[in-house]
Structure 1
Amino acid sequence: MSGVKRDWSGKLKRDGPKPAHPAPARNAFTPMFERLRDELDEHHDRRERIVKLSRDITALSKKIIFSLQRVRKIEPQLPKNIQDEVDARLAEIAKLLAALAPEIQGLNRYRYSRSLMCLEELVEALTFAHYLKTQTLIRYEDLCATVEDLTRQGIAAVATSSEDQVMTDAADGPKQADATKPDPPATVSLTQDDYLYGIFDLTGEMMRFATTTLALTGVLAGSESSTSGDEPRTILQDMHDLGSFFEMLPVGGGSRFQWEKKLEVTRQSVQKVERLGYDWIIRGSEKPKGWVPDLSALDQGPPEEDE
């Protein structure tokens, strides 16, 4: 005789299929909570897509910066091999921006701002490329137009790929044309915080560029000629100006901690280039070829971070 099966409370277990659970009770509030559930699911799905696109844009922007760090002097045209690399990665970024744009329209642009750190990295890459060509800082309005143009290029590239796919599937039968006028494509917009934090990070790349070019060429990077008759302007003067402007600015509308942290890193970058230039002028004749200064004495604050 087989034993009797009981559950954890000592009651006899029921043989056969389990009884169906009763349908949940519905009331006047049920539709409201169902809508909230759907909105939360949509929010988490959208945020996941934005984070993935942001990571890809950040990675490509960093690769652009790595390519630009191989430039050895400031001149209107980048070396062809470096320009080709930059253009190829910008084309990939354009497609990612085209996918990102519909997700961050309206209030969503600010709702997901913490997930859009990729735009600061993109600002850093674009401003660094502009500086290496012109030795000037690109204006906020011009940079916004550049990012919007990149988005439109990405939309056009995606549309072209879709048309090619439609042409290959034309044998399936003609599709009815849509008579409605299409809405203008959504674009990615930059905020002032994106611009300022990207410029903060630019000072770190300028410091690395100054260190590398001085070690390899023996002169501080800068313009080769001056129209006013004065000495050519160097990257040290540019960093002095940037540092002074940031010191005069009030704290931005974002996190005060993040602002002060980036400002401190900017101060360190300016000090490193100052020491780099002064050591070279004062003791330059004693330095062997390829000499790189030891800047560790200035690293007394928080470590510099790429964000």
Structure 2
Amino acid sequence: MLKLQRLSLRMMALKPQRLHNIAETTSQSVAKRVRTMTTESSIKDAFAKYTDYLNDLNEKRERVIKASRDITSNSKKVIFQVHRISKHNKEEVLQKAEKDLADVTDRYISRLVKELQGTDFWKLRRAYSPGVQEYVEAATFCKFCRTGTLLNLDEMNATLLPLNDPSLEPLQINVLDYLLGLADLTGELMRLAIGRISDGELGFAKKICEFVREIYRELTLVVPFMDDSHDMKTKMDTMLQSVMKIENACFGVHVRGSEYMPLLGSDDPTSFLLGVPDVEI
């Protein structure tokens, strides 16, 4: 009897402890299960959000590439229009080219601005940079033929401000794309200068030569500090070739002018576009 009482007391003493252990074990397993489920759900949500972000970015990149191509093709049309210029149709050609350039700004540049505004646009620079460079080339080409001066970056960006959403930070052309477009401008000026020489406009060709020299001289001071721009350094070589072609053409006319003049049909050294006296080479 005494032994049974002792055994009962021992069981009573052990039972609460076992129940406590079971309850503790159960609560720990539930906590672990809840915590694991919560972590997996968070990872899935984060992955889904990141996937949506990448999909949206890829779709935006496609739209930006399309806008850039439209800007490129229509800017080239402006450049081809300017190349039609002569002493007989200067005003007509420039008015048409400037009108076409304004159309590129209103229709295509504005679409690009809307796509890039409020986004991580620097991630898409490779997608839109070719179009912007071509636009810079066309705009600076028109400005030079109209006034004989360079359209600077601030003036160009000022024309883009009305296209931006006032509630957001304005999207502007960056310095690198402007300089790359400026480097391409020298090639168009070289073709224009040779065309003007063939038409007898020697003064204007020499003015172009001085202008292209100045651009090349200024860029040689900047490019050595642009360590991450392989494109710019490559275009500098092309720019030097353009300068040399213009110089050789002008020098040939200067040295053998008496042979050229009957063919050209003019000995007037005054530039029909700029109204400035002949420039010594």
The TM-score with structure 2 as length reference comes to 0.72
Q: 1:66 to 1:272 in 2, by over 3 A?
A: same
C-alpha distance in 1 between matches for 2:228 and 2:70 = 25
Report which stretch shifted further, 136-145 or 281-290: 281-290
C-alpha distance in 2 between matches for 1:85 and 1:237 = 24
Kindly state the Cα deviation for residue 84 of structure 1 after the two structures are TM-superposed.
Answer: 2.6
For the pair shown, the structure with the greater C-alpha radius of gyration is: 2
Q: Does 1:238 align with 2:202?
A: no
Runs of 5+ in structure 1 lacking a partner? 1-25, 153-181, 223-232, 292-307
Matches within 5 A, 1:209-248: 209-221=192-204, 234-248=207-221
Instruction: Find the counterpart in structure 1 of residue 125 from structure 2.
Output: 113
Runs of 5+ in structure 2 lacking a partner? 1-39, 266-281
Q: Does 1:94 align with 2:68?
A: no
Matches within 5 A, 1:74-85: 78-85=90-97
Matches within 5 A, 1:149-164: 149=162, 151=163
RMSD: 2.6
Q: Does 1:277 align with 2:250?
A: yes
Equivalent residue in structure 2 for 1:103, among 84, 108, 115: 115
Amino acid of the structure 2 residue aligned with 1:100: L
C-alpha distance in 1 between matches for 2:212 and 2:70 = 30
Equivalent residue in structure 2 for 1:201, among 157, 175, 184: 184
Amino acid of the structure 2 residue aligned with 1:72: S
Q: 1:275 to 1:92 in 2, by over 3 A?
A: closer
C-alpha distance in 2 between matches for 1:48 and 1:143 = 26
Amino acid of the structure 2 residue aligned with 1:131: F
Aligned residues: 224
Kindly state the Cα deviation for residue 188 of structure 1 after the two structures are TM-superposed.
Answer: 3.9
Amino acid of the structure 2 residue aligned with 1:80: E
Q: 1:71 to 1:275 in 2, by over 3 A?
A: same
C-alpha distance in 2 between matches for 1:38 and 1:83 = 46
Kindly state the Cα deviation for residue 185 of structure 1 after the two structures are TM-superposed.
Answer: 7.2
Q: 1:85 to 1:268 in 2, by over 3 A?
A: closer
- 2:186, 2:239 within 8 Å by CA — same for their partners in 1? yes
Same amino acid, percent of matched pairs: 27
Instruction: Find the counterpart in structure 1 of residue 146 from structure 2.
Output: 133
Amino acid of the structure 2 residue aligned with 1:289: L
Amino acid of the structure 1 residue aligned with 2:195: T
Q: 1:221 to 1:247 in 2, by over 3 A?
A: same
- 1:236, 1:274 within 8 Å by CA — same for their partners in 2? yes
Q: Deviations 1:73-131 (Å, cap 9, x if unpaired)?
A: 5x9x9522541343145224412222221221255231111111211111111111111
C-alpha distance in 1 between matches for 2:258 and 2:107 = 50
Higher helix share: 2
Amino acid of the structure 2 residue aligned with 1:270: V
Amino acid of the structure 1 residue aligned with 2:117: Q
The TM-score with structure 1 as length reference comes to 0.66
Q: 1:187 to 1:130 in 2, by over 3 A?
A: same
